[in-house]
Chains A and B, each alone.
Chain A
Amino acid sequence: MEASGVVPISLKSSGRSRRRQRTNYVAQGASVFAAFLAIGVLALVVISVLVRGLKAINLDLFTKNQVTFGETGGGIANGLVGTAIIVAIATAIALPVGIFAAIYVAEFAGSRASRVVRLALDVLNGVPSIVVGIFAYALLVVGSGYAAWKASVALAIVMLPLVARSTIEVLRLVSDSLRYGSYALGISKWRTVLFVVMPSAIGSIMTGATLAVARAAGETAPLLFTTSIFLPNQVVTDPSHAMAAVPLLILFDSESPDPSLNNQAWAAAFVLMFFVLVLSLSARYVLARRERKLRAR
């Protein structure tokens, strides 16, 4: 007579609960499906570029220059040298300006000044690269002609907010106790900034800069307006002349009706992508490890 009146409670879900479970499965399934679909498409893009590039790649690509239209063969040696020089000069401009601007924001500026500079950096980051291109064209090219250093200036403007923003983030992560410890020893501010704060942040700053270099190496629009559309067919090392660059070669070869030039575009794209991906992946890896260390401190 003890349990006769008690209705056994079923642990199986039913009714409303079942419906909620079903919604849950459907929604999760849809999310996983969408994620896989998108990742699949993205992977397909990368693989198709890599496969076509690998097929077209050969030693001539690195050792020979572009040929004039109609001839076959040739390589992109002039573009590789051009990109290396243009990006190097751009880095030499963007790195000091970006890092010092970040030092100002993180170490010296009051809250209002720091907000203004950070706003300027955010705005600069939002300027489309083609607008940077026409700006450099109007400011530097009109009246005096194309030159590689003008392309470097344009790329430096693209890199500047990337470098400065990542440096500000890194300097913020450096613990204040480090600064106070230094002040307590009677060390002045500039020594504290340059010899205590910077050494503990410089690694992460450099990885941020590496990401900016990777981005600049692939930029095409700023180059289009600053270093000639009629690319020289030989290696140029003087930055006051127009220079070929890998992204420009890819652009022109991709629109060419000549399939051998299309093949060259794939090979050049492979080289560019390989460079950019290796650079950004290793930078990200190092950055993640360093930030974990800095946070743990």
Chain B
Amino acid sequence: MDAPIAKPPLDRLASRRGLRDRLGDSSLRWISALAAVGVITVIALIIYEVIDQARPSIRTFGISFVWHRTWNAVTDQYGALDFLVATLYVTGLAVLLAAPVAIAIGLYLSELAPGGVRGVVGSLVEMLAAIPSVVLGLWGILVLGPVVHNEFGPWLNDVLGWTPFFATRPISGSTMFTAVLVLAIMIVPITAAISRDLFLQVPPDIKEGAIGLGLTRWEMVRGVMLPYTRGGLISAVLLGAGRALGEAIAVTQVIGTTAHLTANLFETGDTLASRIAAQYQAAASNLQVASLFYLGVILLAISLIVNFAALLIVRRYDIAQRV
């Protein structure tokens, strides 16, 4: 006798929504999987294409390309040694110069600086990490170059001229020394920002424990914070090194782009990246273009090794921290 309650068409609603949701779920899954596959394809394609373009040179010179010095467009003879050595030399020195300073900034910002300074200087450092490298190169060529030529050069040559590093006076502002300084300025902010974040992650209780045991602040830093963050610091430095290795533009602007196999920092030089940037438009023969790609293969291999090392260290360190 009650009015029959209209039964809502639940089944139909459910099945319609079920279909839409099944479609929606699987299409979102596939679209996003496609994007992920796209990422993997891009990296695979980069590695394949660069090696493929280098093939004529790989076939002609083989692996000995790596330790041959000649780079002669007239006789079509090419070798990478000068650029490889210059890349490692300039990058190594820049990292050596930048790493301690960057870690000191990290310590200062996380431990020593008063609160107000921390925020201002911290964002200044992050700001510097965002400066485009071509702007740094512009500064390097027009401001730093003349200073190296006229002030640093003669002075360092007078004081340290007996070492192989400063054996002559620079004949212009474009030297490997200028490149080292520009690269160091480039990687200090990157490494400093990461090391500050690492130091801030050290749990306060172990720091307080160390202070509670009567350690001085420096002993606490050396005995607790540095060991705790060691893996992260090493990979922060390696990441900076990776940036410096592959930097083409700023280096091309200041290094003089003429290869020399010498320890003398006041000579011009040429790195793998700067040679590619400077020569690809002027490349005369197919073999020369292929050889430039071969330089690209070497550069890619080195930077992948450096980045992998950084990743591995971080991973090992993460696991060690969790245990």
Chain A interface residues (CB < 8 Å from chain B): 20-21, 23-24, 27-28, 30-32, 34-39, 41-43, 45-46, 48-49, 96-101, 103-105, 107-109, 113, 116-117, 119-135, 137-139, 157, 160-161, 164, 188-191, 193-194, 211, 214-215, 217-221, 224-225, 229, 247, 250-251, 254-255, 262, 265-266, 269, 272-273, 276-277, 280-281, 284
Contacts and interface: CB of A to CB of B under 8 A. Distances in A.
A93 to B, nearest CB: 10
B219 interface: yes
Contact of A138 (B42, B53, B102, B218): B53
A271 B142 CA distance: 18
A217 B132 contact: yes
Given A49-B139, A116-B40, A250-B135, A229 B281 contact: yes
The bracket for how many chain B residues form the interface is: 35 or more
Contacts of B38: 97, 101
Contacts of B246: 127-131
Given A42-B188, A46-B127, A277-B127, 8 more contacts: A100-B32, A117-B39, A132-B46, A160-B39, A211-B130, A218-B134, A265-B138, A273-B135
B63 interface: no
B299 to A, nearest CB: 6
A31 B24 contact: no
Interface string B237-267: 0000010011111000100000000000000
A131 B293 CA distance: 9
Nearest to A279: B130
B312 to A, nearest CB: 11
Contacts of B107: 31, 35
A120 B43 contact: yes
A251 B308 CA distance: 31
A109 B188 CA distance: 36
B124 A42 contact: yes
Given A134-B296, A194-B28, A24 B105 contact: no
B124 A188 contact: no
A131 B300 contact: yes
14 contacts: A38-B105, A98-B35, A113-B36, A127-B300, A128-B248, A130-B246, A130-B248, A130-B276, A131-B299, A157-B46, A193-B28, A218-B133, A250-B135, A272-B132
Given A130-B276, A138-B49, A101 B39 contact: yes
Given A21-B216, A100-B35, A123 B42 contact: no
A84 B135 CA distance: 18
Interface of B: 17, 21, 24-25, 27-29, 31-36, 38-40, 42-43, 45-46, 49-50, 52-53, 100-102, 104-105, 107-109, 112, 121, 123-128, 130-139, 141-143, 185, 188-189, 192, 216-219, 221-222, 242, 245-249, 253, 273, 276-277, 280-281, 292-293, 296, 299-300, 303-304, 306-308, 311
A188 B25 CA distance: 7
A95 to B, nearest CB: 11
B110 to A, nearest CB: 11
A133 B109 CA distance: 36
A49 B138 contact: yes
Contact of B104 (A34, A139, A161, A254): A34
B217 A28 contact: yes
Nearest to B101: A38
Contact of B39 (A37, A97, A250, A251): A97
Contacts of A96: 35
Given A31-B108, A101-B38, A128-B247, A220 B134 contact: yes
Contacts of A116: 40
B172 to A, nearest CB: 13
Contacts of A36: 108
A80 B105 CA distance: 36
A225 B36 CA distance: 27
